[in-house]
């Protein structure tokens, strides 16, 4: 079915069909309401859809938005950490009349996908949303240099230029949890995790360190390793509250504390700095915060659409995290 077919069926010109289809007015062609409705009825009856390639030539957009993830498995499962991001992306794309292209053919090299490869089809989309804890700085720099519209879900600062992103305000969320611990009498607290590499990790540690310094208490940083060794180190240093970079590591360490007959939170408090990124077997309701994953996905599409349309606006956004009261942070033990 083509526009010419619709024109023949309704007894109008192809130009009239095009004007009606694209919902625009043309001073040179006056279209009576009954004629417009006759064309729309034929379009509905036949299920006609405009050729996306022809539309791209006409308006420089085909209303396809790409989604690319560096993770080796696309986040399709409901329990996957990245799934809420994808839900937000899909909902916003639907609200602005765009379709999604999921770029899943990129080869996996050393456990990670690559955007640029021999079969790269990124330009099929008007722009692309990038998902993943780690994004390749060289590929981000190339996207910037080539002027390809894209938005990162998560703050990025290592591409040699300003990267458009929608991220979570980890420093503020972490600092708020430190203040809660201080109010409950904790004066020796620990950050357990890498605190480096991914921006989400460095942001958490920065928020922790700055809040500790402002409160005038003692804060220590320990990388997660063998639970027995980590717990020994924490107890030797008199730590009473543990801030966990990774939720699942917190579950492991809390189990080690309970194995030693330490009460959680009576003897040792725990704070989870975000949602589980991998399965975590625990019945504890961790105190901490949740990442606004669905809203981040939604706003990433908003930012990308503004970049494509050239309408401007804030290209780098940090969204507040939602505090979770939980049951694992209590008054510091004597």
In terms of Cα–Cα distance, which of 103, 30, 34, 38 is closest to 65?
103
Evaluate whether residue 117 is within a structural domain.
yes
In terms of Cα–Cα distance, which of 258, 274, 267 is closest to 323?
274
Average pLDDT over residues 84-93: 95
Same domain, 190 and 284: yes
Is the pLDDT at 189 greater than 70, yes or no? yes
Dihedral sign from CA coordinates of 177, 182, 186, 187: positive
Is the pLDDT at 27 greater than 70, yes or no? no
Evaluate whether residue 326 is within a structural domain.
no
Is the pLDDT at 44 greater than 90, yes or no? no
Q: CATH number, domain at 180?
A: 3.40.50.2300
Evaluate whether residue 215 is within a structural domain.
yes
Evaluate whether residue 330 is within a structural domain.
no
* Residue 215, CB-side half-sphere exposure with 13 Å CA sphere: 24
Please tell me the predicted confidence (pLDDT) of residue 1.
72
Same domain, 114 and 153: yes
Interatomic CA distance for residues 35 and 41, integer angstroms: 10
- Checking DSSP bridges between strand 108-109 and strand 112-113, what pairing results, if any? antiparallel
Which residues lie closer than 8 Å to 211 by C-beta, 6 or more apart?
174, 175, 178, 179
pTM: 0.80
In terms of Cα–Cα distance, which of 238, 237, 157, 165 is closest to 202?
157
Can you give the residue range of the structural domain that contains 107? 64-168+294-320
The pLDDT tens digits for 191-232 are 999 999 889 999 999 999 999 999 999 999 999 999 999 999
Same domain, 177 and 285: yes
In terms of Cα–Cα distance, which of 262, 312, 323, 265 is closest to 289?
323
Same domain, 77 and 39: no
When pLDDT is cut at 50, 70 and 90, the band that residue 57 belongs to is very low
Same domain, 153 and 299: yes
Same domain, 159 and 197: no
Evaluate whether residue 328 is within a structural domain.
no
**Structural domains counted in the chain:** 3
When pLDDT is cut at 50, 70 and 90, the band that residue 235 belongs to is very high
């Amino acid at each position: 079915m083509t526009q010419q077919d619709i024109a023949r069926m309704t007894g109008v010109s192809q130009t009239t069909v095009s004007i009606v289809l694209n919902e625009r007015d043309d001073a040179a062609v006056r279209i009576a309401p009954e004629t417009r409705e006759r064309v729309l009825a034929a379009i509905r009856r036949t299920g006609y859809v405009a050729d996306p390639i022809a539309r791209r030539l006409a308006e420089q957009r085909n209303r396809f938005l790409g989604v690319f993830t560096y993770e080796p498995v696309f986040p399709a499962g409901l329990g996957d950490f990245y799934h809420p991001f994808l839900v937000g992306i899909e909902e916003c794309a639907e609200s602005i009349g765009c379709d999604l292209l999921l770029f899943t053919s990129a080869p996996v090299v050393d456990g990670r996908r690559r955007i640029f490869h021999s079969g790269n089809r990124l330009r099929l989309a008007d722009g692309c949303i990038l998902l993943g804890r780690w994004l390749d700085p060289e590929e981000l720099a190339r996207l910037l240099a080539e002027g390809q519209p894209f938005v990162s879900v998560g703050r990025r600062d290592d591409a040699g230029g300003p990267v458009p992103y929608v991220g979570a305000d980890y420093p503020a969320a972490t600092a708020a949890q430190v203040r809660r611990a201080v109010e409950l009498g904790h004066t020796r607290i620990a950050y357990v995790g890498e605190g480096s590499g991914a921006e989400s990790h460095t942001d958490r540690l920065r928020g922790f360190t700055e809040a500790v310094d402002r409160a005038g208490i003692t804060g220590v940083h320990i990388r997660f390793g063998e639970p027995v060794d980590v717990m020994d180190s924490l107890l030797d240093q008199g730590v009473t509250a543990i801030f966990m970079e990774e939720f699942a590591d917190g579950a492991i360490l809390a189990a080690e504390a309970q194995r030693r007959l330490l009460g959680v939170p009576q003897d040792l408090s725990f704070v989870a700095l975000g949602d589980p990124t991998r399965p975590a077997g625990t019945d504890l309701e961790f105190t901490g915060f949740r990442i606004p994953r669905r809203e981040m996905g939604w706003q990433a599409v908003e930012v990308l659409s503004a970049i494509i349309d050239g309408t401007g606006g804030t290209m780098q956004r940090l969204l507040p995290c939602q505090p979770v009261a939980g049951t694992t942070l209590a008054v510091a033990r004597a």
